[in-house]
Structure 1
Amino acid sequence: MARHLIQGREIAMPVRVRDAMVCGASYLVRADAARAVIAYSHLDVAEVLPGKALCTLMFADYRDGDLGPYHEFGIAFLARPPGADHAPGGGLRANLSELRRTGAGAFVHWLPVDQGLTLEAGRTIWGFPKELADIDLRTSSPYKRCILRKDGRLVLDLLIKPGVPVPGTGMMTALDAYSHSDGVTRRIPWSMSPHGIRTRPGGALIRLGNHPIAKELSELGLPKRALATATVSHMAMTFNEAKEP
């Protein structure tokens, strides 16, 4: 079993999250603009419709896990694995199904957190682009809200209105995450077991600030209506050792 020493603490693989609350909003954005954003990774975005890519903004309250409690915000793009080819020819649902079959995964472009242990672990073990930021999560009310500031500047204020319950929660889902740091692209096998899923079309309000990441999101066309939003009241996750694809 692989082990990593992080801040004097031995972290055994795989890393487990036993309970987290996760909220996300997904947007259809111009594929050419998304390609420009992640060009440094040498990965290509997956076109879920001709000329359209999928960008997801998420925030999470990690309550119990091997890296301790912390808050996290993330920007990810659905990306094709290296060497894979997919030309969208059907509808959105059919294209997403085909992309999952061919191994498309979530390329993590930015991943601010508010605690030092997960910051160092994320960067060292998986090459995730973690940075320290001020993440104000407000999840006790029906509306779920994240106010994100970095270096004293507002990045965004994201509000999500939960939708209707989704049946069949608790099923284990496997997904590959991709990261890129120090010139190396890595694939991270990632599994999730969600409970208490709610989803809906739209359902998000977003206000962008004056941080460079906010400008990057504006160049993708945000703020705009979300394709869909989802909230998960209890999520268990497992992160395995990173591999070079």
Structure 2
Amino acid sequence: MANRKEDDFFAGIEQVDVWAAGNKSRLPLFYRDARACIAVFPAGLPALKRLLPDPRFTPAQVLPGIGAVALACFEYRDTDVGPYNEFALGILLNNPHIVPLPGYNILRQLAQFNFYPYIFRLPVTTEAALRWGIDYSGFPKFLASIEFSDTGDWLGCELKEREELICRLKVRKIAAPMHRLIKFFIRLYQFRQPQSTEFKMNARALGISLNPFDAELVIGSMHPVARELSRVMLMKKPLMCFFVPSAQLILYGPENLSFPLVNYLFQQGMRIPLDRIREEPEKKDRKALKEKKKEHKERKA
């Protein structure tokens, strides 16, 4: 029964072949085995707004004037682009379908397990993960060292670029009795326009803690991203943290098809000539007309 439940998470989702930097992959992207730890920290609202590229992105507020930054570490063991690690730095935005009251909007997102983060940095560990993320959805990715460590009751993740520490996050391995479907409606910025994509998680084991001592954060002093974090954070004790020792995920493609993206997808990414795009509807119309004529003849007979 367990295997069937796992298979059902991916059932009915059609993937298409895509190319990035000469390498073939598939979208939506399947992550068949992963683990993660996430911590949410209080941040100053004016500093968060300076990181947002468009006024249509509005930070959710924990309290008036206080927003939230999420640090999310993922260890992907089996994916369509091979194994890799990722460290997401995001700003929690308001759910546009919920009244943007301080505290209320974030609590509703938590209650529904539907989150709206804007990703402003997304370091990864492999070239394959880097290229498709940038080319197709505009993820702000860069190559970095992301190392996980298991030390007793803690799961740690250290983020460095060229041996320079950006940050080090540790989350306690709290009890993870829940099995939940979590949706991240990710906001991005591509071709100087808002972009979005859905990242769906089948958390096969999930623990949530509101204890500020269940996560520890160290921020580097010299790296630009470390300084960026230091400027926005109000404290290094989390508002909440998530421990996900076992998960599957699906990353869907970009939802907003701008002209530059359409050009890339058809001429470079999917390698579908534009003539073929015109031919397909014509073929369907001819087939439908042929079937109608056949039905008309059969009725006369």
- TM-score, normalised to structure 2, is 0.72
Find the partner of 2:230 among 211, 218, 229: 218
Give 1:104 deviation, angstroms: 5.8
2:80 to 60, 66, 74: 66
Alpha carbons of structure 1 residues 128 and 137: separation in structure 2 relative to 1, 3 Å: same
Q: Secondary structure at the match of 1:164?
A: coil
What is the Cα-based RMSD across aligned positions, in Å?
Answer: 2.4
| AA aligned opposite 2:106 | L
1:47-99 CA deviation, whole Å, 9 max, x = no partner? 23322212110111100111110011110111136x7784315xx3x432445
Shift in Å at residue 2 of structure 1?
A: 4.0
What is the number of equivalent residue pairs in this alignment?
238
Do structure 1's residue 193 and structure 2's residue 207 form an aligned pair? no
State the secondary structure of the residue aligned to 1:165.
coil
Higher-RCO chain (CA-CA 8 Å, sequence separation at least 6): 1
Per the TM alignment, residue 12 of structure 1 is displaced from its structure 2 partner at its CA by 2.3
2:106 counterpart residue number: 96
Question: Structure 2 matches for 1:18-57, cutoff 5 A?
Answer: 18-39=32-53, 43-57=57-71
Higher CA-based Rg: 2
User: Is 1:162 paired with 2:176?
Assistant: no
- Counterpart CA distance in 1 for 2:63 and 2:127 is 39
Which residue identity lines up with residue 138 of structure 1 in the other structure?
A: S
What is the SS of the residue equivalent to 2:93?
Answer: strand
Tell me the distance in 1 between the aligned counterparts of 2:30 and 2:55.
Answer: 26
Q: CA, structure 1 residues 174+229, in 2 after alignment: closer, same or farther (shift >3 Å)? A: closer
The normalised TM-score by structure 1 is: 0.87
User: Relative to 1, partners in 2 of residues 1:140 and 1:6: Cα closer, same or farther, differing over 3 Å?
Assistant: farther
Map of 1:136 onto structure 2 = 147
Could you tell me whether the CA contact under 8 Å between 2:89 and 2:121 is conserved in 1?
A: yes
Structure 1 or 2: more helix by fraction: 2
Percent of paired sites with the same residue: 23
Q: 1:134 to 1:104 in 2, by over 3 A?
A: closer
- Structure 2: segments with no counterpart, 5+ residues: 1-14, 258-301
Encode CA deviations 1:183-232: one digit per residue, 9 max, x unaligned: 13211022110022122122111111121111111111355211111111
Deviation at 1:140, TM superposition (A): 6.2
What secondary structure is seen at the aligned counterpart in 1 of 2:233?
Answer: coil
Q: Which residue of 2 aligns with 1:242?
A: 254
The answer as to 2:196 corresponding to 1:183 is: no
**Contact 2:60 / 2:106 at 8 angstroms: preserved in 1?**
no
2:157 aligned counterpart, secondary structure: strand
Distance 1:41 1:56 in 2: 20
Distance 2:234 2:161 in 1: 19
**8 Å contact from structure 1 (residues 49, 95) kept in 2:** no
Secondary structure of residue in 2 paired with 1:217: helix
| Cα offset, 1:176, TM superposition | 0.8
Please give the alpha-carbon distance, in whole angstroms, between the structure 1 residues aligned to 2:208 and 2:98.
Answer: 30
Counterpart of 1:87 in structure 2 is 100
On the 8 A contact 2:124/2:142 being kept in 1, the answer is yes
1:156 CA displacement: 1.1
- List alignment gaps of at least 5 residues for structure 1: none
Q: Which residue of 1 aligns with 2:161?
A: 150
1:28-65 CA-partner distances (Å, limit 9, x unpaired): 21222211122457522122332221211011110011
